[in-house]
Structure 1
Amino acid sequence: MHENRLRILMAERRISITKLASEADISRTTLTNIYYERAKGITFETLDKLCIHLECTPNDLLIIKT
């Protein structure tokens, strides 16, 4: 089980899906699916782009719960 913190990080930075998709060069569909937790997975490339743009680590974005 995991916790997706994308919404929280975006809210803290006051950035919209459209703006983040454009600035991080991620498709809006992909970002929307991650945001609403509909994605079944995330590529390393997308994870890297999110972390670089949001200035965070994968651990800040995804929390694995055991």
Structure 2
Amino acid sequence: MENELRVIMAKKKLKVVDVFNDTGISKTTIYGLYEETTQHPSASTILKICEYLEITPNEFFGIKKDR
């Protein structure tokens, strides 16, 4: 599933282990999202990552609002 996790983590200078340690989400799940190999992540996982990174789900998925 395409997402912006890699870019957002790079901007915030975070590593997968940081997200794992701070959220409790498994490393396998985080790596799957980071590498964009996870097909159907749970909504609760996405929301937990968004809350941790202080971003919206739209930002996570790279959805930009047209004005």
2:57 matched residue in structure 1: 58
What TM-score comes out, normalization by structure 2 length?
A: 0.86
User: In percent, how many aligned pairs have the same letter?
Assistant: 33
Aligned-pair Cα RMSD in Å: 1.4
Q: Report 1 or 2 for greater relative contact order, CA contacts < 8 Å, sequence distance ≥ 6.
A: 1
What TM-score comes out, normalization by structure 1 length?
A: 0.87
* Aligned residue pair count: 63
Question: Where does structure 2 lack aligned partners over 5 or more consecutive residues?
Answer: none
Deviating beyond 4 angstroms after TM superposition, the runs of 4 or more aligned structure 1 residues are none
Question: Where does structure 1 lack aligned partners over 5 or more consecutive residues?
Answer: none
